[in-house]
Amino acid sequence: MLPGPTPGMPAAAAAGGFAVVDVEATGRSPWRHRVVEVAVVLLDERLDPQAEFSTLLDPLGPVGPTHVHRIAQEDVEGAPRFREIAPTLLELLAGRVLVGHHVTCDQAFLDREFARIGVPLPPVPLLCTMRLARAHLPQAPGFGLAACAEAAGLGWYPAHTALGDARVTAELLRYCVRAASGPPDDWTGPLREAARVPWPRLGPARSRQSGEPVPLLRREAPYGPWPRGAQPPAVVLTETGAMGSSA
C-alpha cells in the first residue's frame, strides 16, 4: 500500500521509474474541456513509492459534471491554474514511463493543457493498466478501474478523485506486474527509453495581482481496503502547501 501523501510539494525523487497519472476534467474532450484536478504518484523501477502530488485546478470556467467527479464550483475558488503547476508537473514526469488506466486519455488532456501554454510534451513510453488487466485479470467483470480494483482485491478507494484513482492504479500496476499468471512483463526497454527523452523546463508563473501564494488543494480519503458493506470514509478537501511564484 502506498504511504500517506507528503504535505505540500513532493520531495525530490531520483529521475527514472514510473509516473502514475490521473486527471479529472470538465468534460470528455481534451480540445474543448479543461483539467480540473490532477494527481501524480511516482514509483521507482521496482515499483516502490517515491512521492505524490495532487491538487484541484481552476479551469477558468464551469467545473463540468459534478455528479461524476463531485467537484463543486466553489471547491476550485483560489485553486492554482494549470500554468502555475506546469513547472512542477514537468519535473515530476521527466524521465519516466507514463502510467494510467486508459493512459492515452490522461495523456491527451495533459498534452492539450501544456499546448495551451506553448509547451509541447515529448513522446514518452506509455503503460496502460487497463491493457495489463486484460492479460492478468481475466476474471474481472469489466475493465474499468473500479472493476479491476475489485477483481484484484484492492478494496474500496475514492473513485473519481485524481489522487484516489492514481493511487489505486499504482496498486493495480504492482498487482499485474507481479501476477503469477500470464507472461512476464519486461519494462527495461521502456524505462531506458523514457530516461533518454529530453524534457522541456518551464520557469514559475508570474505572481497574481494579489501577490499571495497560490494554495494546493488536495481531495483525499484514507485508502482501503475496507470491509464489504462498511461505510467508507468521506472525501475531504485540504490545503497542502502553496505554489511559489515570481514577479
Residue 125 lies inside a defined structural domain of this protein = yes
Residue 213 lies inside a defined structural domain of this protein = yes
Tell me: the pLDDT tens digits for 221-244?
A: 766 555 566 666 778 888 877 775
Average of pLDDT values for 92-110? 97
* pLDDT(205) > 50: yes
* Rounded Cα distance, 110 and 40, in Å: 12
* pLDDT(4) > 60: no
Tell me: the pLDDT tens digits for 143-189?
A: 999 999 999 998 778 889 999 999 999 999 999 988 755 556 778 88
**Considering its fold, how many domains does the chain have in total?**
1
Cβ–Cβ < 8 Å for 136, 178: no
Spell out where the chain has E strands: 18-25, 35-43, 49-56, 97-100, 126-128, 214-220, 236-243
> Could you write out the DSSP letters of every residue in 64-125?
--HHHH---GGGGTTPPPHHHHHHHHHHHHTTSEEEETTHHHHHHHHHHHHHHTT-PPPP--
Give the bridge partners for 246, in sequence order: 206
Tell me: the pLDDT tens digits for 120-149?
A: 999 999 999 999 999 899 889 999 999 999
* pLDDT(208) > 70: yes
State residue 30 phi and psi, 5-degree precision.
-60, -25
C-alpha angle 121-99-187 in degrees, rounded to nearest 5: 105
Residue 3 lies inside a defined structural domain of this protein = no
Tell me: the pLDDT tens digits for 38-73?
A: 999 999 999 999 999 999 999 999 999 999 999 999
Say what the pLDDT of residue 241 is: 77
Say what the pLDDT of residue 234 is: 79
| 85 vs 10, higher pLDDT | 85
Say what the pLDDT of residue 3 is: 41
State residue 102 phi and psi, 5-degree precision.
65, 60
C-alpha torsion 8→14→20→22, nearest 10? 30
Q: Residue 90's domain is classified under what CATH number?
A: 3.30.420.10
Instruction: Give the domain extent around 143.
Output: 18-243
Residue 5 lies inside a defined structural domain of this protein = no
* Rounded Cα distance, 91 and 215, in Å: 19
* pLDDT(1) > 90: no
Average of pLDDT values for 107-113? 98
Residue 206 lies inside a defined structural domain of this protein = yes
Residue 168 lies inside a defined structural domain of this protein = yes
Residue 57: other Cβ atoms inside 10 A: 28
Confidence band for 246, pLDDT divided at 50, 70 and 90: very low
> Would the CA dihedral through 103, 109, 112, 114 be positive or negative?
negative
Q: Is 241 exposed, middle or buried (0-12, 13-18, 19+ CB in 10 A)?
A: middle
